[in-house]
């Protein structure tokens, strides 16, 4: 099934079930007001939502309305846990190569994960508001999963059972703030401001055979100002699958229901189908030409991120955002 | 006023108002079910809670009950944002000195903050469950503040207005997992499992003159197995006050109401009154004797953390936790 959270003037929005074509939706307040409430009680609530989804699909549902993706908030507009991996190690290797740094051998066996800002999630069509263009504004196209409660010390085998929903996201990065933050060794903070979600999240069964080994085996298409920057396949070169990322995240403590685990920038070795962020484009230019020629994003730039199934239909709807200048109050 | 969240078999617990002596409490569901709900609407809800607090203080409140700190959950049992500073730079300097590393000069002007696990908060008397003693279990005694909504780009001057509540916390660290995580440059993750809160949080006015310049000018007392490890004054050597930490955290994006900002391990230069974590004790031993003789915590160890006002009364109640062995399910 497909689910979305739509704006209703509350911080948490309203949960709706959306049909497969992303054209019709139905409010489900009587089953669950929010996606967080649903994931808190997934075993009892998911079957009820599935039933509504089937009615929506076969045309027997009443009180449906036209689904408007511009009204979508992030799937969980404020969440309790957002951990983003860097599971496509080929991307990390490329970034290191561009600055003549070695990739530690352990990066191929020990997942990289950083803790992100789970209170800074925005909707698929919300503006990316940034104060300063000089901060090096970049998009990062990723796949993410949403879990139910994960016990501490979960095995990789058992971790996969806790994947309840799949999302695609734009993890906005401020590239020029990253070197200083990384040098302090405390991880990303100011350099990771906003993360946006595509209009809907889906249960794994919606992906059919494209969901296997807890990876999504489909291209993720990133388009900047109407030009495709990349469409790497998210199922190729994912060194750590989602089950492995979850087991890593839960090594020393449990994860709360509604935890969101990201894949990191999707990338394929050699980047034959382009890239999922401008940083990678620039690294390829540096390796080839000695310097980067593609700039980071500017105010007014439009980024679209989408994933289509094998018959060409949009699975999650489209992230479609514009970078806007933000002026803090004095 | 003083507020606590008590266990009621829900994930978010129940908000109660507690009297100054921490002996009596009153349920306030009709005003606000949870502390998160209160902080979401602080301007309208805080005055109502204050009124109940006054009734509790002057003995005119009905339906009071004996406050039992063992029933306390974390103030916000699952929160949307937990950012922990390292504001006592003298502590960072000491840790670096013990490993013969230089402290970058910028550490005195550019705050260190890491993103913590806001879905892994536990109560004042909850066990610290850890799978492996060899991970180097340590406590870290800290002060923290809870904010309402903070706009992006807030100035230091305006940031202080967003401090609504003050807490003391135990930010449990797994010291032997830290070097590998820091070398990966993505910040702490597995090395920061659980964070516990003292039984109550308080509004700044409860601290009287001890709250000034957005610092708490009182000793924070840490006791391990009935032996005082340290009682450094939290108002001394705090290089960055809470307003500065909040402004740093909100530089590139807004912070959601209920954001929790920590001070990092409280420390005074030269550690004349001891330390707020075992790592500092061990660093002092290394500098003095060439090696550390104090071990990290073992299963069965008891850690108590408390802060008393100028007349010797406990402000927040006591963090009183035991380290317990945890066995993951197979």
Q: Do residues A42 and A183 both lie within one domain?
A: no
For residue A207, the distance in angstroms to the closest alpha carbon of chain B comes to 29
Interface test with A, best of B76, B102, B187, B190 (most A CBs within 10 A): B187
Write out the residue range of the structural domain in which residue A321 sits. Answer: 82-325
Residue B330 in domain: no
Instruction: Please choose, from the candidates B223, B52, B264, B244, the residue with its C-alpha nearest in 3D space to the C-alpha of residue B162.
Output: B244
pLDDT at B29: 96
pLDDT, average across residues A36-57: 98
Residue A320 in domain: yes
Q: How many Cβ contacts (< 8 angstroms) between chains A and B?
A: 149
- Tell me which chain A residue has its CA closest to the CA of residue B41: A11
Q: Do residues B62 and B181 both lie within one domain?
A: no
Report helix, strand or coil for B185.
Answer: coil
Q: Do residues B188 and B107 both lie within one domain?
A: yes
- Tell me which chain B residue has its CA closest to the CA of residue A77: B80
Give the helix/strand (H/E) hosting A52. Answer: helix A42-58
Distance CA B297, CA A166 (A): 39
Could you give the residue ranges of the DSSP H alpha helices within B41-165? 42-57, 89-98, 156-159
Q: Do residues B29 and B88 both lie within one domain?
A: no
pLDDT at A328: 95
Residue B77 in domain: no
Last residue of a domain, one of A26, A48, A71: A71
Q: What does the radius of gyration of chain B's CA atoms come to, in whole angstroms?
A: 19
pLDDT, average across residues B98-113: 93
Q: Do residues B253 and B107 both lie within one domain?
A: yes
pLDDT at B238: 98
pLDDT, average across residues B86-112: 94
pLDDT in tens, B21-74: 999 999 999 999 999 999 999 999 999 999 999 999 999 999 999 999 999 999
Residue A16 in domain: yes
Q: Give the number of domains in chain A.
A: 2
Q: Do residues A141 and A277 both lie within one domain?
A: yes
pLDDT in tens, B44-53: 999 999 999 9
Residue B305, judged by CB atoms within 10 A of its CB (0-12, 13-18, 19+), counts as: buried
Least confident of A3-12, A182-191, B217-226, B267-276: A182-191
For residue B213, the distance in angstroms to the closest alpha carbon of chain A comes to 20
pLDDT at B316: 98
What is the DSSP pairing of strand A128-130 with strand A319-325?
A: parallel
pLDDT in tens, A219-276: 999 999 999 999 999 999 999 999 999 999 999 999 999 999 999 999 999 999 999 9
Alpha-carbon separation of residue A255 from A83, A249, B121 (angstroms): 10, 8, 11
**DSSP per-residue string spanning A27-49:** E-TTT-SSHHHHHHTHHHHHHHH
Q: Which residues of A touch B104 (CB under 8 A)?
A: 183-184
Q: Do residues B52 and B178 both lie within one domain?
A: no
Q: Do residues A171 and A316 both lie within one domain?
A: yes
Nearby residues of A312 by Cβ (< 8 Å), 6 or more positions away: none
pLDDT at A329: 85
CB A100 within 8 A of CB A278: no
Residue B76 in domain: no
pLDDT at B329: 86
Residue B17 in domain: yes
Residue A59 in domain: yes
Q: Do residues B36 and B168 both lie within one domain?
A: no
Residue B175 in domain: yes
Structure-derived torsion over alpha carbons of residues B206, B209, B210, B214, reported in degrees to the nearest 10: 90
Distance CA A127, CA A317 (A): 17
Residue A150, pLDDT above cutoff 90: yes
Q: Do residues A44 and A119 both lie within one domain?
A: no
pLDDT at A27: 98
Strands (E), B7-140: 14-18, 24-27, 64-66, 82-85, 113-115, 121-122, 128-130, 137-138
When CB atoms are compared, the residue of A184, A189, A251 closest to B115 is: A189
For residue B107, the distance in angstroms to the closest alpha carbon of chain A comes to 8
Instruction: Please choose, from the candidates A187, A190, A224, the residue with its C-alpha nearest in 3D space to the C-alpha of residue A84.
Output: A187
pLDDT in tens, A162-202: 999 999 999 999 999 999 998 898 999 999 999 999 999 99
Query: What percent of chain B clears pLDDT 70, i.e. is strictly above it?
Result: 100
For residue B155, the distance in angstroms to the closest alpha carbon of chain A comes to 7
Last residue of a domain, one of B52, B71, B90: B71
pLDDT in tens, A73-120: 999 999 999 999 999 999 999 999 998 989 999 999 999 999 999 999
**Cβ neighbour number for residue A64 with a 10 Å cutoff:** 18
Contact assignment for A115 to B113 by CB distance below 8 Å: no
- Tell me which chain B residue has its CA closest to the CA of residue A129: B253
Q: Do residues A182 and A261 both lie within one domain?
A: yes
> What is the ipTM, given to two decimal places?
0.97
CB B308 within 8 A of CB B314: yes
Q: Do residues B89 and B186 both lie within one domain?
A: yes
Contact assignment for A115 to B190 by CB distance below 8 Å: no
Domain containing residue B91: CATH number:
3.90.850.10
Residue B97, judged by CB atoms within 10 A of its CB (0-12, 13-18, 19+), counts as: middle
For residue A200, the distance in angstroms to the closest alpha carbon of chain B comes to 21
Contact assignment for A252 to B135 by CB distance below 8 Å: yes
pLDDT, average across residues B122-149: 98
As given in the structure block, the two tokens for residue B286 are: 């290394």
């Amino acid at each position: 099934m497909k689910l979305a959270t739509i704006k209703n003037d509350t911080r948490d929005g309203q949960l709706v079930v959306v049909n497969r074509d992303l054209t019709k939706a139905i409010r489900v307040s009587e089953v669950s007001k929010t996606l967080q409430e649903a994931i808190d009680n997934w075993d009892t609530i998911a079957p009820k939502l599935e039933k509504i989804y089937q009615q929506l699909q076969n045309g027997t549902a009443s009180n449906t309305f036209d689904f408007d993706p511009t009204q979508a908030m992030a799937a969980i507009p404020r969440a309790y846990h957002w951990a983003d991996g860097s599971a496509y190690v080929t991307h990390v290797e490329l970034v290191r190569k561009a600055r003549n740094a070695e990739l530690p051998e352990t990066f191929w066996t020990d997942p990289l994960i950083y803790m992100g800002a789970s209170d800074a999630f925005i909707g698929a069509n919300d503006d990316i508001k940034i104060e300063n263009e000089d901060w090096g504004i970049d998009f990062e196209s990723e796949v993410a999963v949403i879990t139910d409660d994960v016990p501490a010390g979960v095995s990789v085998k058992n971790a996969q059972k806790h994947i309840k929903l799949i999302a695609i996201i734009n993890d906005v990065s401020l590239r020029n703030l990253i070197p200083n933050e990384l040098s302090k060794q405390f991880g990303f903070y100011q350099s990771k401001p906003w993360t946006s979600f595509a209009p809907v999240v889906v249960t794994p069964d919606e992906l059919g055979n494209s969901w296997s080994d807890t990876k999504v085996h489909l291209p993720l298409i990133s388009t900047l100002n109407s030009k495709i920057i990349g469409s790497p396949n998210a199922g190729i070169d994912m060194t750590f699958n989602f089950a492995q990322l979850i087991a890593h995240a839960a090594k020393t403590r449990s994860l709360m229901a509604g935890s969101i685990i990201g894949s990191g920038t999707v990338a394929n070795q050699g980047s034959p189908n382009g890239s999922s962020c401008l940083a990678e484009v620039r690294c390829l230019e540096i390796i080839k030409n000695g310097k980067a020629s593609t700039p980071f994003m500017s105010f007014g730039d439009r980024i679209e991120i989408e994933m289509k199934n094998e018959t060409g239909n949009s699975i999650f709807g489209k992230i479609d955002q514009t970078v806007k200048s933000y002026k803090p109050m004095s």
